[in-house]
A and B are shown apart, each in its own frame.
Chain A
Amino acid sequence: MKEDLQELYKHRQLLYMLAYRDIRVRYKQSIMGFLWAVLMPIVIVLSGLVVRYAYALGAHAPLNTADIASVAVKSLPWAFLVSSIRFSCNCLVQNQNLVTKVYFPKEIFPLAATLASLFDLLVASGALILVLLALQVGWSPYLLWTPLLLATVVLLAAGVGMLVSAASLFFRDVKFIVEVLLTFGIFFTPVFYEVKMFGDKGKFLLLNPVSPLLDGLGSCVARHQSPDLAWFAYSLIFSLMAFLGGYFFFKHLEPGFAESV
């Protein structure tokens, strides 16, 4: 374990290099370039707004700024989670050449995929901050929770990424399962709606470990409230376990990669 981590540390430059490569390649030969990192979330935010508008109409309540901000704030981490897991899932198969020809700790591939998606998240967040300023959402000390909440999302993404990348190398089925979960996951996660809309039944939604994190982000950025700490602790523990579990699962299977890819 200690040696594995030392190896990973020794190859940290490769991690940055592969993340850089993924970012470069993703936007190469596209006219819009990095604007895509902003445009994709905009589409998600817009569809979220349509959903929220429909809710507001049904409830005969006006759509206020906090609701709009909340949808925008939650959409970005969700987009990050989806793209990170999607890229991780294929990374080992796509880099077959490197997996079978060169030695280095292979967890670098899913981690680089997560890092590359994180870059997109940062670019989009820059744009989001401008939008929030324009909406005059204001600020509160609770904003200090955001880095911790985002870090937990990243931890979860990296853990799940390692898990699915190793699993999909042995069983290509995993790719399809992941794809279905990512597509329909948005209905089981409070991205476009709020947990409190469900009243008491909301806690079932919060069992999804992503929900408390997104809900918490919505609370502390858009509504100036503290995130629900008990549920946040639940997500944090879940994410830590996913990360460690994903890592050990990956390391356990790693010796067989070159023969099975």
Chain B
Amino acid sequence: MSEIAVRMEHVYKKFRKGEVYNSLRDLLPALTGRMFRQSGLSEADKREFWALQDISFEVKRGQAFGIIGANGAGKSTMLKLLGRIMKPTQGSIQVNGRISALIELGAGFHQDLTGRENIYLYGTILGMARREIDTKFNEIVEFAGLAEFIDTPVKRYSSGMYARLGFAVAAHVNPDVLLVDEVLSVGDTLFQRRCFDYMQKIIRSGATVLFVSHNLRTVAEFCSQALLLDRGRPATMGPTSEVIKHYLTNMRDHRAADQSRPVVISGVTVRDAAGPCQRFESGKKAWIDIEASAHEPCSNLALVLHFRDESHRSLFSTTTERLGCKTFSMNPGEILKCTFEVELNFSPGTYYTSVNIYRHDIDRALDIWEAAETIYVWSEQDVSGPVNCFPKVLHQEIFRNGLRDSDDCVTGKHSAQDSQISAASTPTQVN
């Protein structure tokens, strides 16, 4: 096999913005409109945008390669192109060997089928032969730790069990090239440890890993080389530590240099007590440092902090002014620094922080930075939904003939593990 595992040459990908015609009723007027319009071309140009432009890189066999960039930089598009789910508009992509993608675990599961059936289904979807699954079946079940529930339909699984099974199948594919999206950042520590062990194993076995992430810490830990994307263009490529440094300094300068707005938010950093951080345990404190600079004099300003989930639903918002701070004024050249302290009572998942600066008197946002930072929340408890209510099972008892049959009382001390066990032993009632 050749030395090069993945090669992209001058890859471009164009998307059409706005509404895709999903019914004939929409298409016909649009077509006739285009026919009679002289400037049809420029109209089309406006609606198109380039998700990726002139991307070229090579990854050698056995290398771990990171792809980083802000939200909307084109990372996911890149993975879809590599995974052959989309075709590039221009350029060529060459991948040598079997690809496997840890993109969305359990994407192929069918809710009504049992764990056993889903292992076969998902395994086949990921490109394993039936016989291969036969030989690895016990290993997969053991790896997922779901031997008891293997004949239960997966719709009765908790989200944790679901992800474990999905990962267990995906981890047994033995790919030559592994594409990893940010899935690994969600899930409890044990799960994450397993994912990382698996990636290490894959790399040691001589396979290639392409790791797309926001989480600079993990990229730095894993990848020797990295590529930084900036709004679809390659910004820098090289040793990971240098690329990350470039990324952090550039982002700030970029926004600060934007002269089109009177005030710009030039920096948003999320940190824990130790320093900048993206992974938080549910319920722990986080600090969000915000920096803004002014190009024109402005008054009556306040900052808004938003948390959104992965589908960009707003989960929480607050403002400096609602929290009792005075609105402020800024003059050109001045810099505002502000820190919010929050308790991240979210259940495990991925969340985005958005920040905007607005004028209180005319109720108008002057600068909005959507999804400025990504936060991954994990928890030892197997809970789901947007918020974490930190549940405990105080007692679970069965009475037979008026007598207590078992002594299942859970004390607060071990609540984390025990609630998991009691949840697992009654699969029909999970969630």
Contact = CB atoms under 8 A, between A and B. Distances in A.
Nearest to B87: A255
Given A28-B113, A103-B85, 20 more contacts: A13-B124, A14-B125, A17-B120, A17-B125, A18-B121, A21-B121, A97-B107, A98-B107, A101-B85, A102-B83, A102-B126, A103-B84, A171-B21, A171-B23, A172-B23, A173-B23, A258-B80, A258-B86, A259-B20, A259-B86
Given A13-B130, A98-B107, A172 B124 contact: no
B121 A100 contact: no
Contacts of B23: 171-173
A55 interface: no
16 contacts: A13-B130, A21-B117, A24-B113, A97-B107, A97-B108, A102-B83, A102-B85, A102-B108, A102-B125, A102-B126, A103-B84, A171-B23, A171-B24, A173-B23, A259-B15, A260-B20
A104 interface: yes
Contacts, number: 69
Given A24-B113, A173-B23, A102 B130 contact: no
A188 interface: no
A62 B127 CA distance: 59
Nearest to B104: A101
Interface of B: 15, 20-25, 27, 80, 83-87, 99, 101, 103-104, 107-108, 110, 112-113, 117, 120-121, 124-127, 129-130
B285 to A, nearest CB: 36
A25 interface: yes
Contacts of A28: 112-113
B22 A171 contact: yes
The 9 closest A-B pairs by CB, nearest first: A103-B84, A17-B124, A101-B107, A255-B87, A173-B24, A28-B112, A258-B85, A14-B124, A258-B86
Contacts of B27: 171
A170 B120 CA distance: 31
A21 B108 CA distance: 11
A29 B120 contact: no
Most buried by B among A13, A102, A104, A255: A102
A29 B121 contact: no
B103 A101 contact: yes
Contacts of B125: 14, 17, 98, 102, 104
Contacts of A255: 86-87
Given A100-B85, A103-B84, A259-B86, A173 B107 contact: no
B110 A25 contact: yes
A170 B80 CA distance: 20
Interface string A64-102: 000000000000000000000000000000000110111
Contacts of A24: 112-113, 117
Contacts of B15: 259
A70 B428 CA distance: 49
B103 A13 contact: no
Contact of A21 (B86, B107, B113): B113
A14 B103 CA distance: 19
B126 to A, nearest CB: 7
Contacts of A98: 107-108, 125
A23 to B, nearest CB: 11
